[in-house]
Structure 1
Amino acid sequence: MTLHSVSVAGVVVRDDGRILAIRRADNGTWEPPGGVLELDERPEEGAAREVREETGMRVEVERLTGVYKNMKRGVVALVFRCRPTGGEESTSAESTAVEWLTRDEVQERMGEVYAVRILDALDASAAPYVRVHDGRHLLESA
């Protein structure tokens, strides 16, 4: 039996519309903060924990905005829209930069499979998106 890994991420949106992003220490890519969901935690708690650990920011989780599966690696990511409630931006062992990006900067700096998570979270009218990808590009629905 093949097992899947579950990860969580927080798309943190400030009142001015800027989005919190990190530059990962391991590969230099820009992404929303996130990581592996612990066995004993609820998804919303995991998203808030990962944001705090990677950026120094405390957040309130507002809603699930998407479910994304990496078909090659078997990783399912649950992405939540969040709003900042406190803390101060700081890097961690997992991030070399923490910045508040504009929508355009997100599209310029992030690869397709991470930028779409943020764009989906900014779409206030939609139910959660469900998407699949190969690690780099979105795959068309069957």
Structure 2
Amino acid sequence: MARIEHFNNPNAPKPNSIVVAVTVFVQDEQGRVLLIRRTDNGLWALPGGAQDFGEYIAETAVRETREETGIEIEVTGVVGIYTNPNHLVEYSDGEVRQQFSICFRAGYVSGETMTSDESSAVSWVSRDELADFSIHPSMRLRLEHGFERRGEPYIG
């Protein structure tokens, strides 16, 4: 299913759903962050996705990272909570989702990178390399906050 990101777009369609979702800022021993290239829009992003029924939210972070990247992680904290009402995601099935995403911090446990139906590429990326990647502004904000290692989670 294709998706279009609307960010501060006054002509964006009105939202019709909010879904609890996660993104995961996981670093390896060299301090590189794990990114995927999404199959639905071609942009690079942190791994993540929607919470399933019967699942703790930290379990969502572990499951989505494993499914999209092949990497096993351990959740260690919260980078931030992202709820910008001016960030909408329009799906080809008619859903228009208002952003609600909890970005977790996690550590690498095991595994080798692999792609999935949701990721056409998976890569460990250094902070200096990020400028060369096509990344949505809302994802860049999460990356910035993850690398900053703030004392308190971002709430916005």
Under TM normalisation by the shorter chain, which class is it?
Answer: 0.7 to 0.9
**Which residue of structure 1 aligns with residue 10 of structure 2?**
none
Structure number, greater radius of gyration: 2
- The offset of 1:126, in angstroms, is 2.4
- Does the residue aligned with 2:41 lie in a helix, a strand or coil? coil
Contact 1:107 1:115 in 2 (8 A): no
**Which residue of structure 1 aligns with residue 52 of structure 2?**
38
Report how many aligned residue pairs link the two structures. Answer: 130
- Does the residue aligned with 1:83 lie in a helix, a strand or coil? strand
Q: TM-score, normalised by structure 1?
A: 0.85
**Which residue of structure 2 aligns with residue 119 of structure 1?**
144
- Percent identity between matched residues is 38
Gaps of 5+ in 1: 132-142
**Which residue of structure 2 aligns with residue 103 of structure 1?**
127
- Does the residue aligned with 1:27 lie in a helix, a strand or coil? coil
- Cα distance in structure 1, aligned partners of 2:61 and 2:147: 17
Q: Partner letter of residue 75 of structure 2?
A: V
- Cα distance in structure 2, aligned partners of 1:123 and 1:41: 29
Q: Partner letter of residue 6 of structure 1?
A: V
Of 65, 73, 83, the residue aligned with 1:59 is 73
Q: TM-score, normalised by structure 2?
A: 0.78
- The offset of 1:70, in angstroms, is 4.1
Q: Relative contact order (alpha carbons < 8 A, sep ≥ 6): 1 or 2 greater? A: 2
**Which residue of structure 2 aligns with residue 25 of structure 1?**
39
Q: For each residue in 1:49-80, what CA deviation from the matched residue of structure 2 results, as whole angstroms up to 9, or x when unmatched?
A: 10000000000101011101241432310010
- The offset of 1:111, in angstroms, is 2.0
Gaps of 5+ in 2: 1-15, 89-96
Q: For each residue in 1:32-57, what CA deviation from the matched residue of structure 2 results, as whole angstroms up to 9, or x when unmatched?
A: 00001112111111001100000000
**Which residue of structure 2 aligns with residue 87 of structure 1?**
111
Which 4+ residue blocks in structure 1 deviate beyond 6 angstroms? Answer: none
- Cα distance in structure 1, aligned partners of 2:73 and 2:35: 14
- Cα distance in structure 1, aligned partners of 2:101 and 2:108: 21
- Cα distance in structure 1, aligned partners of 2:117 and 2:28: 24
- The offset of 1:123, in angstroms, is 2.0
